Amino acid sequence: MGITRRYLLRTGWKIGGGMLALLAGWTSWELLRPLTVAGASGKMKLGSPANYKAGTATFVNQGRLWVSNADGHLFALSQKCPHLGCRVPFCESSGRFECPCHGSVFDIAGEWISGPSPRGMDQHPLTVENDVLIVDTSQKINGPDHGAVAFLTDSKGPACAGNG
């Protein structure tokens, strides 16, 4: 007796179901695994501190970070939201960082204002050597706890994400 049609169909369904389960598992892993750090890792020169004017935030693509100036205090802020790792853009109209994923809002210094984030934006150490600003992206400093308001100012205008 040879291979029956019933055996062939049953085996085909088992193989197809196994492949589908494997692909579903792979997709779930890709969605749920932590985000990897992209960009340069280590010390990086950012130019003169005078290049960063008060009340501004400048994105440094090579380091995947923001350099912000809050009343003369410079900060190297991670672009990743401490809540779930979404990329947090700076909203020029409000003068704040606004997470588009879940609505966390941070002031120019990365201090938490509102939203589900457990703390302010994480930072990287900054130093000045020979009038050159240097950031160390291999080190991370956890952002300030809720309630830190050393640099909090009123919003400059409307929020970009409609949540601040």
* pLDDT single digits (tens) 110-123: 899 999 999 999 99
Note the CATH number of domain 43-136: 2.102.10.10
Question: How crowded is the C-beta side of 140, counted as CA atoms within 13 Å?
Answer: 14
| Domain residue ranges of the chain, discontinuous segments joined by + | 43-136
Give the per-residue pLDDT at 45.
87
Q: What phi and psi, each to the nearest 5 degrees, are found at residue 147?
A: 100, -15
Give the per-residue pLDDT at 1.
63
* pLDDT single digits (tens) 27-77: 888 877 765 554 556 888 888 888 888 888 889 888 889 999 988 889 999
Cβ proximity of 106 and 120 under 8 Å: yes
**What 3-state DSSP class applies to 149?**
coil
Q: What is the mean pLDDT of the chain?
A: 85
* pLDDT single digits (tens) 66-98: 999 988 889 999 988 998 888 999 998 888 899
Whole-number Å distance between alpha carbons of 127 and 63: 15
Residue 74 CA: distances (Å) to CA of 27, 54, 91: 40, 9, 18
